Structure 1
Amino acid sequence: MELKDLRCFVAIAETGGFRSASRRLGMEQSIVSRRLASLEDGLGVSLVERGRNGVRLTAAGGRFLEQVRTSLSQLDVAVSHAQAAGEAVAGRVRIGITSSIASGFVRELLAAWRTDHPRVAIDLVEGGPNEHVAAVLAHKLDLTFQLSSVPHQGLDAEQLWIDRVFAATASGSPYAAHGRCRMAQLADAEFIVSTRNSGPDIRDFLTTRLYQLGNSPSIRMIDIGREALMHCVGLGMGVTVTTSADATIRYPDVTFVEILDERLPFSAIWSPHNDNPALRRFLSGARIRARKSARPHREAPAND
């Protein structure tokens, strides 16, 4: 029994004849007749009675028609859903983030994706780089955006954007006097960095850059979240470093000072063995947006 045999039977039953069914199906009438005969032989029962005025369903044919219609309808729905998933028209993308999405590349990417793929759900999971890498390897996350250039075994990575770097400082501190500064001007600052999310990467960035400038940095790691960290900065407990996404958010008594000549690269990390079609389409959209947003950046002079 073949699927085409069933569709031929339904067409014959609904149109009342072989000629009408052949026109609906785009087949020769002889082929439609042979398929019905093959179906009846396979079932061992007559489904229609042939007459001068067309065909009429037998009692067995009437019962069979109801069941076949239901089965074909369910099959069509299943095929439609599978095709939608394959084209990333529907589905789900699970994304791990380690930094704010208040603005910047990720926010713009997600907004554009929601407009173009309204039936694809996006699950955002905030957490640390290591736990997200483990989740991607276990296929609990489809991908993660991270501030890291360290390769991970078994995973693919691609740098998508480079973000500006800001020092978050208490509004009354000397560092807040100007809108921009150089990293060297922060050499004697007392830094506080969160142990969560992208905090360890920020610590590594500060350590590397300040040592390159010949300074021994003072960095205190605090086990608090992003918002609590910014309130500590506003209370004068230290200076921290963040990206443009955080710098768009207002915190009491916190001033954001852009650090000139400094950039932080962000990458997408995913498993090459993940066969989620929506993930592949999402990565393609991210690459296109990355190429469009890559523009030369002119530095403004720092104020002394």
Structure 2
Amino acid sequence: MKQQTHSKIRNKKSCQPKEEEISQQHAQLLNELPRSDSLFGECLYLYQGFWLCSDPLLGTMLMQNHFKHRSTDIFLASSMKTGTTWLRSLMFTTLNRSCFDLSDHPLLRMGPHECFPVLDLYKPEDYAITNMEALLPSPRLFATHFPHKLLPSSITDPSSGCKFVYVCRDPKDVLVSMWHFLHNLRPKELPPLSFDQVFERFCEGVTVYGSYWDHVLGFWEATFESPDKILFFKYEEIKRDPEAHVKKLAEFMGVPISVQEEEDGMVKKIVEFCSLEHLKGLEINKTGTYRANNGYELPNQSFFPVR
């Protein structure tokens, strides 16, 4: 009953609750929603069919009511551990190749997760989001792990003009990568995290952002409704032919590779610069830290494969 009331409030276009009101609704939901342990010290809450930690749950509620999209916005969407770090780097470098020389590139000084904002911890006053136009020209790039169902209809509706790049990956590899990631996040005072624990939760769909299969299916089905607005990638296919996929990315983002750039080897340069081997070897990704806008910090190296 409470969740139905919340949905009605959220769907009223003419009435946008203030941030304080949404925070109160969020606090109430935390007491009412089904919950589970997240395996790394936080609780998960079952919200509209998907499991979220407290901060992303507040983020989706705030975004539904306050995020103002632009028709040129491009979103990188994915479930966790499917190749997001690599795609972030490829998208940012491809889109802004005329702005930055690879010898003095922002990715030499900051981790891939800092090159464009994450919407999952959205706050209306977030500087990185509200001032994107001053930082970089349109189109703006955003990243999210939210399932398609939890994103505002204002950006998923084909008429919005917004575009999505979605990447999925072999579930077995997602599972192994997730185990390593959660193992490193787990507080030291808790018992070590076993692979069997992660395996069971993954198969049940009781993981951060919910069932992996439901997440992929949501975006896959959306491609049939708006095929020109969603570019659906498979991680394994990108690995087999990264140059072809960079050209697809460039075309989709509205900055196609020119004949001259092709002759100058620009695509190959982007692929080599954004390779995980190259990025992983950079000092910023060996020792640097990514600080999310909820204050949570993660070492940059945690976003890269362990081998």
User: Given the two structures, how large is their TM-score scaled by the length of structure 1?
Assistant: 0.24
Instruction: Name the structure with the higher strand share.
Output: 1
Instruction: Name the structure with the higher helix share.
Output: 2
Task: Flag the structure with larger Rg.
Answer: 1
